Amino acid sequence: MATQPKPLVQHESEDSPRPSLPHPEYFLWAPVAFIPLTYLFSSKHPNVFSSACILSLVPLLKIVDLCLRDIARSHPRLVAVFSAGNILQQMVAIHALHQCQLQLIPMLVVGWILCSNLLCYGGYLLATGKPITQGRPLVVHQLRIILMWSFSCHFIISLSTYRLSEDTISPRLRTDPLGTSRALALLCLVLGLYVCFRPPANANPDGADHDQNSSVGYPAELLVTHNVFPAYIGFTYSATSVVLAVALIAMYHASRHLFSASLHLLSLNMRMEVIGGLILPLTMTCLVTLANTPNLTVNWLAESERGASTFLFLFPMIVLLGVTSMNKPLPMILEPTSSFVLFLGGFVFTSIEYQEPLRFARLSGCAVIVVYCGLLAYLFQADPTPEIPVLSLPCV
């Protein structure tokens, strides 16, 4: 019996591996690649160049978020503090230090904390109908407790410091807040670092956390399950660190244009409280939301969980950086109105989040957003309190 000739083209079986196509998120590099082309028109059309740099923050934020989620698979505690949004906020604050716009930084901190702990939190409750502490580890719970205690202590220190500043007649006898700011910044950093990076009590022998379903960085359903970068690049885990560093450098350059564009609003007689407390936080939140448009809850979950890191890590770092390295007298003690707004916002956040169980989550989300709008209205309509006198360092 003659054998049948083999077909020239052999069809692959269903079980045979197929070549993997590039993930759609790889094409986020395409908008970034067009940004260098705008340098050709930067001298003739500076507004177009600045707008292109600001829009490039959207793919850059997505790339940073993917890198952080990829790192969270192996080192979840390293990304318990940082999200793409508060990294951008920190870069804008550094630009404000360079330009000596010290009044903008405290309002930026207050506005970003309210935006993350109230606005993003309310949006997450409306979208999912469940609290963010459901199934979360103990570290996040402890961070929020420290955040509430920090807001309470900060409000008391702010009231006592301003009372001394107003009652004292001689300027030489006024309380210099820089020493207190250094102590408060170091205290916040030590407490936050201890809670985040201490060895877990129920750690496995290999060093991983016992709770594998949800890590400090991202829950299991939000982790990156595919390679963030194509395999033909030639790198494995080190590619994430390299691309993260490149993306952060590009973000730092683009955030400078965002900060410069916000300063142009001063020519419209707009108050610094409105720019730092409302416009910049909402703009950065919109950019981060656009970067996570297919999965909005990923953005709101990350920003809500890392709202505590703004006051416990990022603001103390800026204060210490300004006092020690840049010779900028930035106090960490806010004026009483801002301290009261932070205290009330943190109280609303913790009181709703710690309810077991939370029965009306979506209704609570609407209430949180209403409280956010009310606190901003109170903050902007209140009489501006005179700044704490700083006599140690000149702002040069």
Question: pLDDT-derived band of residue 150, with 50, 70 and 90 as boundaries?
Answer: confident
Query: Average pLDDT of 53-68?
Result: 83
CA distance 314 to 321: 10
Contact 76, 209 (CB under 8 A): yes
pLDDT at 34 > cutoff 70: no
pLDDT at 392 > cutoff 50: no
List residues bridging with 214 in a β-sheet: 219
Query: Average pLDDT of 263-271?
Result: 81
Long-range contacts of range 240-244, CB-CB < 8 Å, 24 or more positions apart?
240/67, 240/70, 240/71, 241/67, 241/71, 243/63, 243/67, 244/63, 244/64, 244/67, 244/68, 244/71
Pick the closest to residue 36 from 298, 248, 250 (CA basis): 250
Query: If you average pLDDT over each of 41-50, 215-224, 232-241, 289-298, which comes out highest?
Result: 289-298
Q: What are the two backbone dihedrals, phi and then psi, of residue 214, each rounded to the nearest 5 degrees? A: -150, 125
Query: Domain segments of the chain: what residues?
Result: 28-198+222-381
pLDDT of residue 91: 92
Higher per-residue confidence, 141 vs 394: 141
pLDDT at 10 > cutoff 70: no
In sequence order, what are the residues at sequence separation of 6 or more whose Cβ sits closer than 8 angstroms to the Cβ of residue 31? 55, 56, 58, 59
Query: Average pLDDT of 6-14?
Result: 45
Over residues 182-216, the pLDDT tens digits come to 787 888 788 777 777 776 555 444 444 444 444 55
Residue with tokens 């309310």: 122
Q: How far apart are the first and last CA of the chain?
A: 97
Over residues 313-328, the pLDDT tens digits come to 888 888 888 877 777 7
Percent of the chain past pLDDT 90, that is, above it, reads 3
Low-confidence winner among 112-116, 246-250, 290-294 (lowest mean pLDDT): 290-294
pLDDT of residue 383: 56
Q: Which helix (H) or strand (E) holds 333?
A: none
Mean pLDDT over all residues of the chain? Answer: 72
pLDDT of residue 92: 92
List residues bridging with 219 in a β-sheet: 214
Pick the closest to residue 350 from 147, 212, 155 (CA basis): 147
CA distance 386 to 163: 12
Alpha helices in the chain, H assignment, sequence order = 29-33, 46-55, 57-72, 84-98, 104-114, 121-128, 138-167, 177-197, 238-263, 272-274, 280-291, 296-305, 307-309, 315-324, 336-353, 361-381
Query: If you average pLDDT over each of 68-72, 131-135, 254-258, which comes out highest?
Result: 254-258
pLDDT at 44 > cutoff 80: no
Higher per-residue confidence, 27 vs 77: 77
pLDDT at 114 > cutoff 80: yes
Over residues 338-380, the pLDDT tens digits come to 888 888 888 888 788 777 677 788 888 899 899 999 988 888 8
